[in-house]
């Protein structure tokens, strides 16, 4: 019942060669490879200079308001929050981002990665993913993917106001093993990433690993807001991977949509 999993640092899993870090590098799927998107990754979150100065000024303004306030409680609260924000700006770290484990690299890109094991062979899973125009079935925030030529495609996502779209190009395409992409200059949300397909030890199918890096439109604060509202890529990615697994293993996703309950208007024949 408890097969020992093989040592992840075993002989067939050498450390990544430096050039597997570049999108076009000769990347074999590698258990110990650093996320190519990572750069100097750190959990939580350097604020870019502009954000830092905004946070800093708000902090100073709050301290001022606190000092001017006649009500003692307000004095303490405003002064305290203000001092906190000022300190943050001084250290350049966004504590919310740190607490929410939003990872960022030194270039200010937000890093997202996740993995799932699917009980199907790597070739079939790769083929499903390579069929870019069908990806919106799996990734519900995607509206369309339009293939422009062998390497380029146009991606359109639903956004709070209308849609956002950009062009991307494949930077690696290794059947049954790996796909990597990079948004083309001018993208509203600059991003790059890769998906790896790696045979799981034992009779368990394939490990699918996705690594993304993107530049959040509103900086680190934007990433925090997105995380808190559940619309952040880390959460979307988790849902997408589970939807992928369930599509492959079951042919459908389980649901309770439309089931009976004591709440009004849930369908059924009253």
Partner 1 sequence: MKAIVWQGTNRVGVETVPDPTLLLPTDAIVRVTSTAICGSDLHLLDGVIPSMERGDILGHEFMGEVVEIGRDVKKLKVGDRVVVPFNIACGACDPCRRGLFSACDNSNPNHRMAEALYGGVSGGGLFGYSHMYGGYAGGQAQYVRVPFADVGPHRIESDLRDEQVLFLTDIFPTGYQAAEQCGIVPGRDVVAVFGAGPVGQFAARSAQLLGAAHVIVIDRVPERLAMAAAAGCQTINYEQDDVLVALREATGGRGPDHVIDAVGMEAHGHGPGALADTAKQRLRLSFDRITALRWALLSCAKGGTVSLPGVYGGLIDKVPMGAAFAKGLTFRMGQTHTHRHVAPLLSRIEAGEIDPSFVITHRATLDEAPDLYKTFRDKHDGCVKVVLNPWG
Shortest separation between residue 153's beta carbon and partner 1, angstroms: 28
Q: Inter-axis angle of helices 233-249 and 219-228, to 10 degrees?
A: 50
Rounded Cα distance between 226 and 42, Å, is 19
Rounded Cα distance between 184 and 263, Å, is 48
Contacts of 157 (CB under 8 A, 6+ apart): 141, 142, 143, 163, 164, 165
Shortest separation between residue 211's beta carbon and partner 1, angstroms: 16
Residues 205-244 binding partner 1 (CB under 8 A) are 205, 235, 238-239, 242
258 binds partner 1 (CB under 8 A): yes
Shortest separation between residue 206's beta carbon and partner 1, angstroms: 12
Contacts of 270 (CB under 8 A, 6+ apart): none
Which residue of 68, 79, 117, 135 would you call a contact of partner 1, by CB under 8 A? 117
Rounded Cα distance between 111 and 41, Å, is 8
269 binds partner 1 (CB under 8 A): yes
Rounded Cα distance between 153 and 176, Å, is 20
73 binds partner 1 (CB under 8 A): no
252 binds partner 1 (CB under 8 A): yes
Residues 154-213 binding partner 1 (CB under 8 A) are 204-205
Binding site for partner 1 (CB under 8 A): 1, 117, 119, 204-205, 235, 238-239, 242, 245-246, 249-250, 252-263, 266-270
């Amino acid at each position: 019942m408890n097969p020992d999993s093989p040592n992840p640092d075993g002989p067939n899993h050498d450390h990544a060669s430096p050039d597997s870090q570049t999108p076009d590098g000769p990347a074999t799927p590698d258990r110990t490879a650093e996320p190519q998107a990572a750069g100097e990754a750190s959990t939580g979150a350097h604020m870019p200079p502009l954000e830092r100065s905004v946070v800093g000024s708000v902090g100073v303004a709050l301290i001022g308001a606190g000092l001017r306030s006649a009500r003692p409680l307000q004095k303490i609260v405003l002064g305290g929050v203000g001092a906190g924000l000022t300190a943050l700006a001084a250290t350049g770290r966004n504590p919310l981002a740190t607490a929410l484990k939003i990872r960022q690299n030194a270039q200010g890109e937000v890093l997202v990665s996740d993995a799932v094991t699917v009980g199907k062979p790597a070739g079939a899973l790769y083929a499903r993913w390579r069929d870019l125009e069908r990806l919106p079935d799996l990734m519900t925030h995607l509206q369309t993917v339009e293939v422009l030529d062998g390497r380029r495609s146009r991606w359109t996502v639903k956004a709070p106001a209308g849609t956002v779209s950009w062009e991307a190009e494949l930077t690696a395409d290794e059947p049954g093993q790996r796909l990597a992409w990079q948004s083309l200059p001018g993208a509203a949300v600059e991003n790059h990433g890769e998906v790896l397909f790696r045979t799981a030890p034992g009779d368990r199918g394939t490990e699918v690993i996705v690594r993304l890096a993107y530049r959040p439109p509103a900086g680190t604060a934007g990433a925090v807001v997105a995380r808190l509202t559940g619309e952040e890529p880390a959460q979307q990615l988790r849902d997408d991977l589970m939807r992928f697994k369930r599509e492959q293993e079951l042919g459908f996703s389980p649901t309770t949509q439309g089931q009976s309950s004591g709440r009004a208007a849930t369908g059924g024949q009253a």
